[in-house]
Every structure is written in structure tokens, then in C-alpha cells.
């Protein structure tokens, strides 16, 4: 039964050259197989949302793309180059706080450029520009513990994007924020992404968020041995406004269809614990 | 109002205590050979304090303390970060480290005198053996408790191993070391003074040991008072420094490292 389902090739939108290719990847922790035979392609400039029940292996897949975890089988490649070690040409927005607590907002955003040997003055100009872009002008001297959760997320966003990565990975980026801050940040993310469309892989357990932001929504099966079960194109016009788009009839139809697919998996994952 | 009252009672208590002691000695109830009169002790303290030669002793004890602290902390940080980063080596060395830390440091003093002579360096060595372990355990803990997500994030941003050491591991260790600043400076003082007491030709510990050798109880008591003031002043200086910025507070829980060996000294 799973053989047929595993064959589903989640192909990117036509016309976009592939940026991330996940080719028949199996991820295991010891004898525990988290995800099995996953095939996914993310086009250049495509915004891909991945949804699936908790613990099905979403973060694991993202870590495989980032090179933080090695597949037990199969291969991941970014822009044609196989991923062998930790990737530096990606931006990773972690679910948890990932800022260095002993560095200010400025110093945190500066890190990527500093490691690349960008001269101090050029760095300063870019960091200030990015802090302004994410709405943190005047906060450059604050330490992470002096910022709110939303502000820390903004710093993380600037930190991940300032190096102009080829791919942006996001692991439930806004799940820890309250609903209003979340909508604000989602809109801001869309605005930033719209400027120079890069490939994005965003994980979320919030189906509304997945549809509202993504060009395509991929549903993962309940774990263990999770795999891609379905892929839905989202043909909603851009630029979008996250809170308004939810009232669009097309959005509601999509929501119903995807939920029909996701629901069974969520129930399975509840039943198994 | 209450604070004033407390102060008044404290002063009264001290006056009664010292006054009674002084009275006891002058009336002959207390043997002045074992318990010299407070006024004599104060006189001795004053004699020392106005004598420029006395500050040579203070200076030497201070140098030993500072050197012991700096060297001990330096070695402790280096070893702690190293072993924190290589759990395998840490596992191998663990019993040896525990064994060495279990040695009461006092017994090392004669050995250090043998190796390094009666001068400054044998005292510094003793202080180092005390300071090292506090810093070492804290640095190791700091490195081990670095948030793995922070580490992954920094690596993805392009950090090489040297960048990680400089921007992640050392700052992580530093926050823990700062939190143990007072303990380790305290150990440095103890190391220096014990070393002097057990064999030296200068320093505050030596002043006490010399007075003891001459059955000069006044000198011993005066020395003890000087020492107490010395430690209080250092404590006071640390108090100004101690209010470390919040972002340098340790991330994880605080853990008091096992210091079975040093309790023997304190
Ligand atoms: N380091 C690990 N060691 C062992 N099992 C792990 C590890 N990381 C994740 N897992 C397991 O792999 C599965 C998928 O985890 P994860 O990718 O974090 O799920 P998700 O992000 O979808 O919630 C879970 O069952 C989890 O328990
Ligand atoms: Mg996850």
C-alpha cells in the first residue's frame, strides 16, 4: 500500500528550474525510521509549505536539506550540488530562539557577513539596512533578552536573510508568537520574499498559514516511516494579504481539500500515542 | 529606624565583648599569654599599618593571589573548553581529574616549596591548584550546555571551528566563570595565605606564622585581623564587579562543582 503512495512525485511548479532536490531520501535515528523514500523538488523562487502531524519528521527533512543530518539513503542537492555537510548558502529560521545571547541585535545580524570576511564598514551599512527592513531601527544595541519574542524573530529573519541565501528554510517560524504578531510577521515575510523571490521551504502545523503563504502545500503522512502523500498547488494571486486571503472562496476550497488529506494522518498520529 | 537600632545593638555588643575581654585581661581573670588584650592587638595593627615595610607583605600576598587567580583561570578555561568539546577525552580523564581534585591542597604546599622554593611561585602554584578546578568545571559545564540550536544556526551562518570557539564556546564558558568569580578569587586568597603560612619569607601568612613561632599571641591576633580586612576589601572590590550584565548570566541551571578537595583547606 505504501509503495504506491511513495511513488507520488512532488514536482515543483512547471517553468521553474529546480533549486532543492530531495531524491528518494530516508532519514533514520538508529533503527527508528522517521521518514522514508521522500521525493521533493522545490523550484527556484517557489514557496513550498510542508504540513503534517506533529512528530512526523518535518524538522528532520529540513535538517537534511541544511546538511545538519545525513540521510540514511538517497541524496539532497541544492542548485545541482549534493549536500554533504552543513550548508552555508541557505538561511535557516529555527523554531526556537537561535540568537547568541551575548551579542546585540546588531552583532547577531552581522555574524553571517563577518564569517564571510565582509569589511566592517560594508557590514555596518548592510546590517543597519536589514534591521530597518525588519522594523528594528533603533534596537541594534539591544541584547536578545531585552527584545520581545516577535522582535527576536525579526532579528533571526534579518540574520538569516542578510547573506542572500539561495534557499530559505523555516521551521514553524511563527508558532511561538501570539496570533496578531503572527499575522504581522507573516505579511512582513511575504513582503520581504516578494522583493527577490528565493526558494522557500516552510514547515508548519498551521494549515491556514501553509496555504496563505505557499505556492504549493505538501502533506506528510503520520510517522514513523512518513512520506509525502499529496501535493496541492495554491493558485492565489500575489501579493497576498494573509488576513484577507482567508476569506477568498478559492482559499476555502483548498483548505477543505487539504484538510481532508491531512485529517486522516493527524488522527492516525493521535491514535498511535 | 530599625536599621539604626540594629547598628546600635551591634556596636553595643561589640563594646561589651571587647570591653569585657580588655577588663578580664587587666584584672588577670584572662591569661594574656593566650588571649592578649584587645588594646595591645590594636596597637600592633596600628604599628604595622603605619610601617611602610608592612606593605611589602601585603603586596606579596596580593601578587600571589592575582597571579594564582589569573593562571588558574587561564588553565581552567583552556582545559574546560577542550574537555567540554571532546567528551571522549573527558571520559578517559574523568577518574584522574576526580582523584587530583580529591587531594587536600594543604599537603601539596611542602612539595611546591621543594620544587619552586620558598618564594612567590610556590604560593602561586598552590593557589592555582585551587582556582583551576572551580574554573575548569564551570568552563566545561558552560561549553556542554551550549544550546545545540544556537550552534547549528551559527554553523549555517558560516562559522568555522575557530569562529565557533571565539563567538560561541568561549563566551558560553565565560558566563559561567563570571558566575564563579567570587569563589575562585576566594580560593586564590586561601591558597596564597596557606602557602605563606606553611613556608615563606614574606606575606601576610608569613607574618602570622612568624608571630606564632615567637609565641607572640598579639602578633597572631593582629595578623588574623589584617587578613580579615584584606579579604573584606577584596570582597568589596568584587562586589562592584560582580553585577555582571544579564546577557552574561549562565544559560542553564547553576551547578556547584564538586570540590571535595578544597573543603579540606577552607
Ligand atoms: N535526534 C533524534 N534522535 C532520535 N529520534 C529523533 C531525533 N530527532 C527526531 N526524532 C524522532 O523523529 C521523528 C520526527 O521528528 P521531527 O522531525 O522533529 O518531527 P516534526 O518536526 O514533524 O514534529 C519523531 O518521532 C522524533 O521523536
Ligand atoms: Mg519540528
Ligand 1 atom at minimum distance from A171 CA: 21
Nearest CB to A90 within list B154, B156, B160 = B156
The distance of B250 to chain A (nearest Cα, Å) reads 10
Q: Residue B1 — pLDDT band, cuts 50, 70, 90? A: low
* pLDDT, tens digit, 9 for 90 and up, residues A197-210: 999 999 998 999 99
Domains and CATH numbers, chain A: 2-89+167-271 (3.40.50.300), 97-164 (no CATH)
**CB proximity B156 to A under 8 Å:** yes
* pLDDT, tens digit, 9 for 90 and up, residues B176-224: 888 788 888 889 999 999 999 888 888 999 999 999 899 889 999 999 9
Nearest CB to A115 within list B152, B158, B247 = B158
Average pLDDT of chain A?
A: 91
In what helix (H) or strand (E) does residue B266 lie, and over which residues does it extend? none
Give the SS3 label for residue B245: coil
Give the SS3 label for residue B54: helix
Distance A221 CA to ligand 1 centre (A): 14
Q: Which residues pair with A90 in a beta bridge?
A: A167
**CB proximity B240 to A under 8 Å:** no
CB A226, CB A52: distance < 8 Å: yes
Three-class SS string for chain A?
CHHHHHCCCECCCCCCCEEEEEEEEEEEECCEEEEEEEEEEEECCCEEEEECCCCCCHHHHHHHHHCCCCCCEEEEEECCEECCCCCCCEEEECCCCCCCCCCCHHHHHHHHHHHCCCCHHHHHHHHHHHHHHCCCCCCCCCCHHHCCHHHHHHHHHHHHHCCCCCEEEEECCCCCCCHHHHHHHHHHHHHHHHHCCCEEEEECCCHHHHHHHCCEEEEECCCCCECEEEEEECCCCCCCCHHHHCCCHHHHHHHHHHHHHHHHHHHHHHHCC
Q: CA B146: distance to chain centroid?
A: 28
CB of A270 shorter than 6 A to ligand 1: no
CB of A29 shorter than 6 A to ligand 1: yes
* pLDDT, tens digit, 9 for 90 and up, residues A181-191: 899 999 999 99
Q: Enumerate the domain spans of chain B.
A: 1-30, 33-248
**CB proximity A144 to B under 8 Å:** yes
Nearest Cα residue to atom 14 of ligand 1: A57
Q: Which of A61-65, A107-111, B10-14, B30-34 has the lowest mean pLDDT?
A: B30-34
CB of A56 shorter than 6 A to ligand 1: yes
The distance of B178 to chain A (nearest Cα, Å) reads 13
Q: Regarding beta strands A228-233 and A216-220, do their DSSP bridges make them parallel or antiparallel, or are they unpaired? A: antiparallel
Report d(CA B64, CA B54) in Å as an integer: 16
Nearest CB to B155 within list A86, A91, A116 = A86
Report d(CA A8, CA B41) in Å as an integer: 93
Range A55-74 average pLDDT: 95
Q: Taking the CB of residue A260, how many other CB atoms lie within 10 A of it?
A: 11
Q: Which residues pair with A33 in a beta bridge?
A: A28
Report d(CA B188, CA B184) in Å as an integer: 6
Nearest CB to B153 within list A98, A144, A145 = A98
Q: CA A178: distance to chain centroid?
A: 19
What local confidence, expressed as pLDDT, does residue A269 receive? 85
Nearest ligand atom owner, CA of A220: 1
**CB proximity B49 to A under 8 Å:** no
Domain B33-248 CATH superfamily: MetI-like (1.10.3720.10)
Nearest Cα residue to atom 18 of ligand 1: A59
Q: Across the interface, do B158 and A163 touch by the CB < 8 Å criterion? A: yes
Ligand 1 atom at minimum distance from A60 CA: 17
* pLDDT, tens digit, 9 for 90 and up, residues B88-137: 999 999 999 999 989 988 888 889 989 998 889 999 999 999 999 999 99
Is the confidence at residue A143, as pLDDT, over 50?
A: yes
What local confidence, expressed as pLDDT, does residue A2 receive? 42
Amino acid at each position: 500500500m505504501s509503495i504506491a503512495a511513495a511513488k507520488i512525485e512532488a514536482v515543483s511548479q512547471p517553468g521553474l528550474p529546480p533549486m532543492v532536490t530531495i531524491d528518494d531520501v530516508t532519514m533514520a535515528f538508529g533503527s527508528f525510521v522517521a521518514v522514508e523514500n521522500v521525493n521533493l523538488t522545490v523550484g527556484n523562487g517557489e514557496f513550498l509549505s510542508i504540513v503534517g502531524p506533529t512528530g512526523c519528521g518535518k524538522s528532520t527533512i529540513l535538517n537534511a536539506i541544511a546538511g545538519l543530518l545525513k540521510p540514511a539513503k538517497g541524496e539532497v542537492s541544492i542548485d545541482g550540488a549534493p549536500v554533504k555537510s552543513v550548508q552555508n548558502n541557505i538561511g535557516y529560521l529555527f523554531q526556537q530562539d537561535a540568537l547568541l545571547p551575548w551579542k546585540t541585535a546588531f552583532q547577531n545580524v552581522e555574524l553571517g557577513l563577518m564569517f564571510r570576511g565582509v569589511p566592517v564598514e560594508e557590514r555596518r551599512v548592510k546590517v543597519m539596512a536589514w534591521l530597518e527592513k525588519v522594523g528594528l531601527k533603533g534596537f541594534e544595541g539591544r541584547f536578545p533578552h531585552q527584545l520581545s519574542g516577535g522582535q527576536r524573530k525579526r532579528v533571526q529573519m534579518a540574520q538569516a536573510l542578510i547573506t542572500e541565501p539561495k534557499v530559505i528554510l523555516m521551521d514553524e517560524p511563527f508558532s511561538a508568537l501570539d496570533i496578531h504578531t503572527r499575522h504581522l510577521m507573516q505579511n512582513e515575510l511575504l513582503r520581504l520574499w516578494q522583493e527577490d523571490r528565493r526558494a522557500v521551504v516552510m514547515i508548519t502545523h498551521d494549515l491556514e498559514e501553509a496555504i496563505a503563504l505557499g505556492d504549493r502545500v505538501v502533506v506528510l503522512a503520520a510517522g514513523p516511516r512518513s512520506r509525502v502523500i499529496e501535493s496541492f498547488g495554491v493558485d492565489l494571486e500575489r501579493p497576498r494579504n494573509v488576513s484577507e486571503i482567508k476569506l477568498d472562496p478559492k482559499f476555502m476550497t483548498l483548505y477543505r481539500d487539504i484538510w481532508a488529506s491531512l485529517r486522516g494522518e493527524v488522527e492516525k498520529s493521535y491514535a498511535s500515542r | 529606624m530599625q536599621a539604626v537600632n540594629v547598628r546600635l545593638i551591634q556596636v553595643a555588643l561589640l563594646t561589651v565583648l571587647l570591653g569585657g575581654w580588655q577588663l578580664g585581661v587587666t584584672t588577670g581573670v584572662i591569661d594574656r599569654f593566650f588571649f592578649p588584650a584587645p588594646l595591645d592587638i590594636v596597637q600592633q595593627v596600628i604599628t604595622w599599618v603605619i610601617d611602610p615595610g608592612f606593605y611589602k607583605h601585603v603586596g606579596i600576598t596580593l601578587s600571589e593571589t592575582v597571579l594564582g587567580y589569573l593562571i588558574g583561570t587561564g588553565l581552567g578555561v583552556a582545559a574546560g573548553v577542550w574537555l567540554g568539546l571532546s567528551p571522549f577525552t573527558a571520559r578517559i580523564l574523568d577518574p584522574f581529574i576526580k582523584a587530583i581534585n580529591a587531594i587536600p591542597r594543604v599537603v601539596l604546599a611542602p612539595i611546591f616549596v621543594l620544587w619552586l622554593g620558598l618564594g612567590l611561585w610556590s604560593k602561586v602554584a598552590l593557589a592555582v591548584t585551587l582556582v583551576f578546578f572551580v574554573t575548569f568545571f564551570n568552563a566545561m559545564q558552560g561549553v556542554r550546555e551550549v544550546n545545540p540550536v544556537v550552534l547549528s544556526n551559527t554553523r549555517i551562518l558560516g562559522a568555522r571551528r575557530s569562529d565557533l570557539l571565539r563567538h560561541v564556546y568561549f563566551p558560553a564558558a565565560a558566563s559561567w566563570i563570571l558566575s564563579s568569580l567570587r569563589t575562585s578569587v576566594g580560593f586564590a586568597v586561601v591558597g596564597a595565605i596557606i602557602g605563606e603560612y606553611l613556608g615563606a619569607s614574606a606575606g601576610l601568612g608569613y607574618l602570622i606564622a612568624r608571630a606564632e613561632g615567637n609565641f607572640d599571641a598579639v602578633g597572631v591576633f593582629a595578623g588574623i585581623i589584617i587578613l580579615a580586612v584584606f579579604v573584606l576589601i577584596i570582597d568589596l572590590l568584587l562586589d562592584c564587579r560582580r553585577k555582571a550584565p544579564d546577557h552574561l548570566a549562565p544559560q542553564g541551571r547553576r551547578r556547584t562543582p564538586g570540590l571535595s578537595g578544597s573543603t579540606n583547606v577552607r
